[in-house]
Amino acid sequence: MSVVRSDWEASIERYIRSKYPALRIETNNRRIIPSRNTRSSYFELDIFVPELCLGIEVNGETYHDRRKYEDDSAHGTVRSDEMYKENYCRSVGIQLLHVWSSESAESIQRRIDDAIQQRLADPGVEEWCPPGRNALLAFIGDLLARYGVPAFLVLFFFIIPACAAINSRIEANKQAELRQIEWRQNEAAAKLQHEENERVREQEQQLWEYEKHYGMWLIDEDYVVQLYNLAVDRGALRNKANRSFLRREVNKWIEEIQAYPLGDVPESCESQHRQMLSRAFKLKARLK
């Protein structure tokens, strides 16, 4: 499969090769980090220095969410692929450095230099081997040194079966880890879906309750408006008793509207709620 690399990523690789020509640099490694989903078997490690157990992820922020990664770092979560890669690399003895496209070239070069110099100065850093490989090689070497077993016997009767068993175990562990990650993702997705369903249900209930009251207020509005128009037509508003009666009816209408908690008014209904109150107060003002 061909790999498409950005000019920016290639420039970082060229910088490392030119400044540290003695180091062996691998790019686009797909043999170390198992994928956390079923779309592919392994994640890509952009730049890898095996003898320093140092990986470098070159993250363009168009496709990589830096904010989600930093939120993972702050809260100890693993929502982002970047944090998943970092945690997995740490578990197999690899230090993973993330650089971001929003950083300046000087900042990126300085961080890479610091990481490489720190790993070079650490006497405990050895060239990376897949988990379990070092123990196997050490055992075989000890066997040969102690008993002088012919190499072909070791190859056919021990190394091949042992490597097959170890690879099978490693693959089984990876699959188990992937299943665990998938289970956690499904659980989190189910929780989010449940919360979303509850939120939608509450909104629908809130809207139903409001519309029920709003329908009653419309009936009240129609009633007082008809009374007002009838009084105007017959000239009955000149009578104080009639105006007083109409004011009481309008006040009851207003009190019913204002008794409804504003916090329970659905966001989509706020405008019509304000408009009804405005109409009620305007009618009340005419009756002074």
Mean pLDDT of all residues belonging to the chain: 83
Least confident of 43-47, 157-161, 268-272: 157-161
Closest CA to 175 of 183, 186, 187, 163: 183
| pLDDT at residue 53 in the model | 92
- Whether 154 has a pLDDT exceeding 60, the answer reads no
Q: How far apart are CA 279 and CA 189, in angstroms?
A: 47
Q: What angle do CA 172, 38, 55 make, to 5 degrees?
A: 75
Q: What average pLDDT does range 251-260 have in this prediction? A: 92
Spell out the domain ranges in the chain: 7-128, 203-286
| pLDDT at residue 145 in the model | 47
| pLDDT at residue 108 in the model | 92
Q: How far apart are CA 38 and CA 179, in angstroms?
A: 10
- Whether 229 has a pLDDT exceeding 70, the answer reads yes
Q: How far apart are CA 160 and CA 180, in angstroms?
A: 30
Backbone angles phi, psi at 45, to 5 degrees: -105, 115
Strands 54-59, 95-100: pairing is: parallel
Q: Please report which confidence band the pLDDT of residue 3 belongs to, taking 50, 70 and 90 as the band edges.
A: very low
Number of H helices, E strands in the chain: 9, 4
User: What is the fold of 7-128?
Assistant: Endonuclease; Chain A (3.40.960)
Q: How far is CA 24 from CA 48, 55, 135, 197, 224, in A?
A: 9, 12, 23, 53, 88
pLDDT tens-place string over residues 101-121? 889 999 999 999 999 999 999
DSSP state of 123: T
